Structure 1
């Protein structure tokens, strides 16, 4: 099992762009690896199409995206046109690769299997996992959805915005935060330090009298 902060395991895999070494492919950028139960299935098609539509948003944030499905590369390539049509995309090529994991070796090693969803042969399908990996190759977020529930990729972009912001500044993002909204000063920042770093600080008065909710405009 990969824990938050661990180096994300490197692997080699066949994909729609050829064989890759994951760490080499990622380079010094952020990455999102997201898995799927099978090709030519309804929810998976909507998800991959949504990522096609959001590709420029990922690129803007310096994020490379790669998908995984437990079917061969040949099937992936036949599926791409359906995904593009559903996405309303008319450009040549496909904006990100899809990993082939026919033997489910990678899915199993990363614990992405959904035991409640099985194929026609009774083999468990890959669940809808999401892994966000930073440029140091460390895993910063993991979410595991069941095969029957599609993901919210706007939320994944929001999380990336939060991770990138909080890496640069001593802040945290509150519940339902969106980019450009106020953020919270981290508790580790001293009262003296906060005066210099966050001159527009607002302290929320609470019954306890403790000044731990310290808001500041988006840095």
Structure 2
């Protein structure tokens, strides 16, 4: 029995691995993952259309969409609802909430994309997707994964901050400390020799806790 379960449940995608390819029907027509090559992508799932928490989230995702686009980042939603349900729901959000949803939503009725990305947690729900977030870079590599339970709405500023942190790390070959936000100092790579460590702590251009933890401001 356990062998059968192992065969039917796909392995979960991992940070640093290629994003699983897909072709899916969306509210903007048929979309393939490869359509996003050259740009970053925030792919997220929600449990169901016409539900309270999801409705607040979609309006919140729309509120950060323009800032994501400024960072060469697109948004793509998903649930296992039908295309007609998605269309009716975004129309409802616009009519009652005054928010026009400008990004596409995958209608994943057969759960094909949801299973590839590990968006269904049977212990939480066997029929609905949890609140998963996948940040995929411009080379279509998964760079971050966040899971939320169905009862907790997501923090949009954290998703935005995470994209900013990843792009900053790539561009400047640095890391970002806890609670980092744009404009804060970043962490430089630790020295690899004792001589370099001795020199590092003498360098006034860095703010050092010790040789292995030094920060600097970006230009």
Q: After TM superposition, is the score higher than 0.5?
A: yes
- Whichever structure has more helix as a proportion of its residues is 2
2:19 equivalent in structure 1: 8
In 2 relative to 1, CA 188–133 (structure 1 residues): closer, same or farther, beyond 3 Å? farther
Task: Report the Cα offset of residue 117 of structure 1.
Answer: 4.1
Q: Where does 1:173-188 land on structure 2 (aligned, <5 Å)?
A: 173-187=176-190
Residue 136 (str. 1) matches residue 143 (str. 2): no
Of the three residues 47, 54, 58, the one matched with 1:37 is 47
Q: Where does 1:106-125 land on structure 2 (aligned, <5 Å)?
A: 106-118=113-125, 123-125=126-128
List 4+ stretches of structure 1 deviating above 4 A: none
Residue 156 (str. 1) matches residue 163 (str. 2): no
Residue 66 (str. 1) matches residue 76 (str. 2): yes
Does the CA-based 8 Å contact 2:64-2:160 persist in structure 1?
no
1:47 equivalent in structure 2: 57
Does the CA-based 8 Å contact 1:53-1:87 persist in structure 2?
no
In 2 relative to 1, CA 188–65 (structure 1 residues): closer, same or farther, beyond 3 Å? farther
In 1, Cα distance between equivalents of 2:130 and 2:72 = 26
Instruction: Give aligned pairs, total.
Output: 203
In 1, Cα distance between equivalents of 2:187 and 2:155 = 24
In 2, Cα distance between equivalents of 1:47 and 1:69 = 13
In 2 relative to 1, CA 53–88 (structure 1 residues): closer, same or farther, beyond 3 Å? farther
Normalising by structure 2, report the TM-score. 0.85
Residue 97 (str. 1) matches residue 104 (str. 2): yes
Does the CA-based 8 Å contact 2:79-2:128 persist in structure 1?
no
Residue 201 (str. 1) matches residue 214 (str. 2): no
Where structure 1 has 5 or more consecutive residues not aligned to the other structure, the ranges are 205-209
Deviations 1:162-206 (A, max 9, x none): 1000101121110111110111112257739x97xx9721222xx
Deviations 1:58-77 (A, max 9, x none): 11111010000111111100
Task: Report the Cα offset of residue 9 of structure 1.
Answer: 1.0
In 1, Cα distance between equivalents of 2:96 and 2:174 = 39
Task: Report the Cα offset of residue 85 of structure 1.
Answer: 4.9
Does the CA-based 8 Å contact 2:169-2:175 persist in structure 1?
yes
Does the CA-based 8 Å contact 1:114-1:147 persist in structure 2?
no
Normalising by structure 1, report the TM-score. 0.85
Q: Residue 172 of structure 1 aligns to a residue in which SS?
A: coil
- Whichever structure has more strand as a proportion of its residues is 1
